[in-house]
Amino acid sequence: KRVVVATGNPGKVREIAEALAGLGWELEPLPSNVSMPEETGSTYEENAALKACTIAARLGLPALADDSGLEVDALGGQPGVYSARFGNCASDTERNTHLLEKLRGQKNRRAHFRSVVILAYPDGDMECYEGKVSGTLLEGPRGSQGFGYDPLFVPDGEERTFGEMSVEEKRPLSHRGLALRELLAAHSE
């Protein structure tokens, strides 16, 4: 079936395409004349539903959206749903510098990535999947793969950051990979 990948983030597109390759779905990018809705929700669930439902209704096709974020213990769970806008930074690199600055001298480097993936249909039906991964934040970036906060985050049980892993290596460990694995299982029956 045809499914629109409702995201403006190329890193998410790569991970979603790799994780769902086995389903044989025709994953279509967001058409260039269609923009993502503003994220007005206060939870990952609300924002993922908003993105998936808006695009599904607009295009008349099933749409898949991910809303995700990094929750840092020492910052009381921030930036969380505001991860993409943290510090009003213009790039991932600046955002990582901003986060490191906030955590300077902080011993507690514990953090958690969360992802909510929603597949919405034009008739209003929705499926929701979630994933979470815990780990620690380094004092400087390592690796140039992935996107966002990946170069700072070492998942529990690993030595390398997500930024030092390929898409294939990151998938079984990551919040998004875990959510997409649930979706894959539900559609492989």
Annotated binding-site members for substrate: 7-12, 68, 147-150, 170, 175-176
138 binds ligand ITT, rule: CB under 6 A: no
The answer to whether 26 and 3 have CB atoms below 8 angstroms apart is yes
Q: Which is nearer to ligand ITT, 12 or 112 (CB)?
A: 12
Q: Considering 67, 73, 125, 156, which one is annotated as catalytic?
A: 67
CB of 157 to ligand ITT, least distance (A): 17
* Catalytic residue list contains 156: no
Q: Which is nearer to ligand ITT, 67 or 164 (CB)?
A: 67
CB of 133 to ligand ITT, least distance (A): 9
9 binds ligand ITT, rule: CB under 6 A: yes
In angstroms, the CA 186 to CA 91 distance is: 36
In angstroms, the CA 82 to CA 74 distance is: 16
> Which pair of tokens denotes residue 14?
């790569």
Of 77, 10, 72, 75, nearest to 43 by C-alpha is 77
Q: Which is nearer to ligand ITT, 91 or 188 (CB)?
A: 91
Cα angle: 28, vertex 12, 69; to 5 degrees: 140
7 binds ligand ITT, rule: CB under 6 A: yes
Reported residue count of the chain is: 189
Q: Which is nearer to ligand ITT, 150 or 164 (CB)?
A: 150
In angstroms, the CA 23 to CA 154 distance is: 29
149 binds ligand ITT, rule: CB under 6 A: yes
In angstroms, the CA 188 to CA 135 distance is: 30
Radius of gyration of the chain (CA): 16
In angstroms, the CA 84 to CA 86 distance is: 6
Task: Please pick, from the candidates 23, 57, 74, 84, the single residue that binds ligand ITT as defined by CB under 6 A.
Answer: 84
List active site positions: 67
Site residues for ligand ITT per CB under 6 A: 7-9, 12, 36, 39, 66-70, 83-84, 113, 146-150, 162, 174, 176
